[in-house]
């Protein structure tokens, strides 16, 4: 995105540079808006079973990772935003944190219903569910993200955090 200037953006959009600057104070703010616009809201868990809700949340991460892999524009925009700590923090606070809160709510409900142990750190348990998918999506981009991976991750972690009995 380094070669992308506000002037070029305006030219490609067929508008004057002043028009672009009226909406965005700079390239970073524009990239953040682009990233938000390309991001779809996560699905709301149904609340019927812990496992199904976890599959819903983790599957969304898998689908987003696949979308990023398949979209040159999304990869470029994400890379640009990540290179700017203030933009990344704003994206985290406005998008990622909301998704994490959804996962934490699902886990807390599972704890309240006695589906998983309540004597463990809910934040750590959340990391155990999303970590394997994020590791494949971000750290090992060559690894496949096949259908069924979400269910395998959820079932494996659930086995470790279920109440004994």
Give residue limits of the domains in the chain.
39-161
Q: What does the alpha-carbon distance between residue 66 and residue 87 come to, in Å, rounded to a whole number?
A: 23
Q: What's the confidence (pLDDT) of residue 151?
A: 97
What topology does CATH give the domain 39-161? Tetracycline Repressor; domain 2 (1.10.357)
Other Cβ atoms closer than 10 A to 129: 23
Does this model's pTM top 0.85? My answer is no
Q: What's the confidence (pLDDT) of residue 92?
A: 84
Unique residue bearing structure tokens 């709301």: 44
Q: What's the confidence (pLDDT) of residue 119?
A: 93
Other Cβ atoms closer than 10 A to 70: 9
**Residue ranges of the alpha helices (H) in the chain?**
6-13, 17-23, 27-38, 50-70, 72-82, 85-91, 97-112, 122-134, 149-161
Per-residue pLDDT of the chain (165 residues; tens, 9 = 90+): 456 678 877 888 888 889 888 988 888 788 777 777 767 778 889 988 999 999 999 999 999 888 877 777 677 777 777 788 888 888 888 888 889 999 999 999 999 999 999 999 999 999 999 999 989 888 887 888 999 999 999 999 999 888 776
Longest dimension (CA), the chain: 68
> How many Å separate Cα 29 from the centre of its chain?
19
Q: What does the alpha-carbon distance between residue 58 and residue 134 come to, in Å, rounded to a whole number?
A: 10
Q: What's the confidence (pLDDT) of residue 1?
A: 46
């Amino acid at each position: 995105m380094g070669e992308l200037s506000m002037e070029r953006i305006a030219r490609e959009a067929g508008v004057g540079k002043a028009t672009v600057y009226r909406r965005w104070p700079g390239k970073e703010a524009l990239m953040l808006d682009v990233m938000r616009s390309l991001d779809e809201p996560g699905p709301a868990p149904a609340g019927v079973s812990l496992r199904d809700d976890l599959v819903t949340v983790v599957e969304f991460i898998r689908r987003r990772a696949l979308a990023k892999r398949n979209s040159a524009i999304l990869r470029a925009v994400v890379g640009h935003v990540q290179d700017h700590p203030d933009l990344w923090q704003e994206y985290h606070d406005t998008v990622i944190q909301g998704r994490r809160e959804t996962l934490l709510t699902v886990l807390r409900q599972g704890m309240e219903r006695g589906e998983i142990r309540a004597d463990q750190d809910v934040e750590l348990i959340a990391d155990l569910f999303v970590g394997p998918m994020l590791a494949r999506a971000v750290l090992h981009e060559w690894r496949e993200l096949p259908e069924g991976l979400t269910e395998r991750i959820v079932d494996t972690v659930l086995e470790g955090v279920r109440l004994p009995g």
